[in-house]
Amino acid sequence: MKRMLSGIKPSGQLTLGNYIGALRNFVNYQDEYEMFVFIANLHCITVYQDPQELRTNLRDAATLYLACGLDPKKATIFLQSDIKEHAQLGFILACNSYQGELNRMTQYKEKIAKKEKSITVGLYTYPVLMASDIIIYDCDFVPVGEDQKQHVELARDIAERFNNNYGQTFNIPQPLIPQVGARIMDLVDPTKKMSKSDDNAKGCIYLLDDLKIARKKIMSAVTDNEANVHYDKTKQPGISNLLTIMSSLTTEPIASIEARYQGIGYGTFKKEVADVVCVTLASIQDRYHQIKASDILDQVLADGAKKVSAIASKKLHEVQVKIGIEIK
């Protein structure tokens, strides 16, 4: 069975973008692959987090993994920081990565372009830790949304370089990007990605949003004057985004939705998108509340950590021997 691994960084509440671009795909893949899914809590602290809020977001995210359908009998779910080897290998990989590579990372460049103050060293080296998360388990596939593809490609480059320098050590993973829904856009500004850390919560649907609020966000999503439900990312980014959301959640092809809406106004279309989103959120939220009340989360995370820690420590040992830092 091929191995698949992915993670989410709950630096805020999980969003519909996280669900469509990543989480629901983890669920779909869990029968076919050996699936490792973790909570990237170390990645969260690359930007200051209020500790109390962070704890809540981490527990909520792990609960949402289960609520969205990850089954701990099939998928191994764990907390990144429980596996100390990620950070240790991360430092070793940092010594096998170049500043020029990190300077080219789009997410980092965007922060620089926005002239954001106090960019931490952790934020800069974050893709190296992500490479460690991935290659420590020799996974074959990494299902992610489009924005993380570049980071998975860096992980491949680092793994290949390490193999060339020290002999075959790491499997080279492949990113898996969904065909539809790899980049869900902000509802207020559909030229930018829907993001949990955004200042304007109106553009972002959170999985735990009150359904009335979620509906209102969709109904007020920015559209255009074309009066045509048609997919054209350049001319009609808002409508294209709503089409993508609907198609992703229903599996109805975009062309078929367009055909159904010929000559029908945006108001009716938005209402149907809101209905579809609310049905999805309602079922996730139902399960979220049940799981929260059941108190199974700590056991799931403990079992997950136990399972993967044996793999991670074996790989780290192999690496340390290869690079010559073990002296026994």
Planar angle of CA 304, 89, 105, nearest 5 degrees: 100
SS3 content of the chain, % helix, strand, coil (to 5): 55, 10, 35
Least Å distance between CB 103 and ligand TYM? 18
Query: Of 184, 229, 312, 319, which lies in the binding site for ligand TYM, with binding defined by CB under 6 A?
Result: 184
How does 220-230 read in b/e, with b if 16+ C-beta sit within 10 Å? ebbbbeeebbb
Least Å distance between CB 222 and ligand TYM? 16
Residue 7 binds ligand TYM (CB under 6 A): yes
Chain positions 150 to 179 lying near ligand TYM, rule: CB under 6 A, are: 151
Residue 90 binds ligand TYM (CB under 6 A): no
Residue 147 binds ligand TYM (CB under 6 A): yes
Least Å distance between CB 20 and ligand TYM? 6
Residue 12 binds ligand TYM (CB under 6 A): no
Q: Tell me the CA end-to-end span of the chain in Å, nearest whole number.
A: 35
Looking at beta carbons only, is 8 or 278 nearer to ligand TYM? 8
Q: Where are the beta strands (DSSP E) in 51-191?
A: 75-79, 141-143, 174-176
Chain positions 39 to 58 lying near ligand TYM, rule: CB under 6 A, are: 40, 43
Query: Of 64, 134, 276, 278, which lies in the binding site for ligand TYM, with binding defined by CB under 6 A?
Result: 134
Span of 6-14, 222-230, 268-276, 279-287 interacting with ligand TYM by CB under 6 A: 6-14
Give the length of the chain: 328
CB atoms within 10 A of CB 101: 14
Distance CA 58, CA 14 (A): 10
Query: Of 135, 187, 194, 243, which lies in the binding site for ligand TYM, with binding defined by CB under 6 A?
Result: 194
Residue 72 binds ligand TYM (CB under 6 A): no
Number of residues that bind ligand TYM (CB under 6 A): 25
Planar angle of CA 295, 85, 170, nearest 5 degrees: 115
Order of strands, sheet of 174-176, starting from the edge strand that comes earlier in the sequence: 75-79, 34-39, 3-8, 141-143, 174-176
DSSP state, residue 7: E
Query: Does residue 196 have an active-site annotation?
Result: yes
Q: Where on the chain is the footprint of ligand TYM (CB under 6 A)? A: 6-9, 17-18, 20-22, 40, 43, 130, 133-134, 142, 144-145, 147-148, 151, 182-184, 193-194
